[in-house]
Structures are given as C-alpha cells and as structure tokens.
Amino acid sequence: MLGIVLAGGTGSRLRPLTSAVSKQLLPIYDKPMIYYPISTLMLSGIRDLVIVTTPKDQESFKSLLGSGEELGINFRYVIQEQPDGIGAVFPLCESQIGNNQVALILGDNIFHGNGLGTQLIKFTNNISGASIFGYPVSNPTEYGVVSIDQFGAPISIVEKPRVPPSNLAVPGLYFYDNNVVEIAKVTAPSARNEIEITSINNHYLNQGSLKVNILPRGTAWFDTGTFENLYDATTYVRLLEARQGVKIACLEEIAWRNSWIDDEDLLRIAAKVNNEPNKTYLESLVN
C-alpha cells in the first residue's frame, strides 16, 4: 500500500504563522506537525510514502525528511500547484500509485491512542472498496459527517451540514482500493471548484463498497488547522510525553519497533542527534 501525506494548501486559518512557512512544518511541541501523520502511516505498516507539497515548500520538506532510507522507508515528493481539493491528489499521484492500494492522511491531522497501529494494519492488506473512520465530536457542523445504521453500515456523508444527521465527524485518514484514481478523475468539482473527498467517499457509498470504522473511545484526534487545536495538540503531546516518559510520533522509534532498522542503525542515528534529551531517549530504547 502506498501512503500519501497531503501537506499542501495555504494554511490561511493560521496566518500570520503560515505566511512564510508551511502549516505542516509548524511545531507540535517537540516535532514538526508532519511527523505525526507520517507516524500514523508508519504504524499502519506503510513504508512507501508520497509527500504532496506546494511548489515553494517542497525543498523545506526534502531538507527535513530526506529520502527516508535511514529509517528503512521511502519518501517521494510531488508538487500540487494549487489547492484544488483533497480528491485531486489521486490523479496527481497516479504514476506513484500505479497498481497499489492507497492510504491518504491529511498533513494537519494527528491521531494517537493505545493500540492504534494494530487497529490500522488490518486496513493495509487487500482493501476492497474504501474504509473511512467516524469520530464522535460535539461540533459536527464543522466537519464532514457520516451517519450509520444500527448495524454500523453508512447511510450518508455530508460536508459541514447545518443540521448534522449524527455527531460522527470523518477524520482525515482514508484507505482506498486502486479504483480511487479513476473515481477521482470522473468526480465533478464542487461549487468551490474542488474535487471533494466527500464526493469520492459518496461514490463508494453509492456502490455499496464503503466501510465506516468508529475510532475507539480514548483515541485522540486533532485537526490542527486552527490556533485553538494547534495549542490543544501541543499541550496533549507535552503532557503525555512528560508524564509517561515516551515519545509520540518518534519516527526513529517506530522504524526500529517495526524492525525496519536494527539496534545498530538506531544507535547510529542517535549518535548524530545534537539534542541531548532526544539522543538519550533513542539510546535508552536499545539499552
């Protein structure tokens, strides 16, 4: 399965913070924001990732992430010239996708929870149709909302409804079979001239091939596109790391625990880290 991290867009809701830097390069406590969605895909067992960026920001992402070889993974980079909708990313990445299935995560979405990786791995093998998630929220009018029947089957998906049919927001993490490329190509743009991800999901829904999975209670999800959520996510990560003594979204640790790199590789990476707490943390994993 190919993983796509959508790190384009203008970040207009976070200006002036994003006037000179990509939103996905802003810090969430001790790491750049993009580390968190990348870590979610890595926890899902995905090693081949495409980072979609704006033209002006691509070199910054390359400088930050490199090729991924040191972590036993592969980063590729694709430019999205203009923000023409989340769904437009599939035709844009068609040559990278090839015959693969696709996992798409939005670059400003943060997921964390006990056993999250184990839960997600089941979506990376032999996907038929599409799998999305539902997350209970108190303010569903601000999100795409999915409603389900008593058996958990999806009934409808609507974007930012005035009268929400449920309180289940659809987070920015999606798993698709290879048909998503052709579906995106024939999806009509919305009134704002964008290929909406909701339209693609509704296509699968109308085909009867959309599955909805409710994220378990205790799973944290942040859409960090606002100042308030940016602050909340930073506070969440800081508190958990300080109290539990573990790192959230530590790419080196995930690669090591996935056996994509060994002890020697991890210690070699740690030796090059100038930040003493981070260096000590990585060394402690082996020791």
pLDDT tens digits for 231-252?
999 999 999 999 999 999 999 9
Q: Residue 207's pLDDT is what?
A: 93
In contact, 89 and 104? CB cutoff 8 Å: yes
pTM (global) more than 0.75: yes
Provide the mean pLDDT of the chain. Answer: 92
The fraction of the chain above a pLDDT of 90, given in percent, is 75
- Which residue has tokens 């009018």? 141
Query: Encoding tokens for residue 215?
Result: 């994220």
Tell me the fold of 2-249: Spore Coat Polysaccharide Biosynthesis Protein SpsA; Chain A (3.90.550)
Q: Residue 125's pLDDT is what?
A: 75
Those residues of the chain that have pLDDT short of 50 are none
Return the C-alpha torsion angle 280, 69, 106, 167, nearest 10: -60
Q: Residue 191's pLDDT is what?
A: 85
Give 3-state DSSP helix, strand, coil % of the chain, rounded to 5.
40, 20, 40
Distance between CA atoms of residues 286 and 245, nearest Å: 15
pLDDT tens digits for 97-135?
999 999 999 999 999 987 777 778 877 776 789 999 999
Q: Residue 12's pLDDT is what?
A: 76
Contacts of 209 (CB under 8 A, 6+ apart): 128, 129, 130
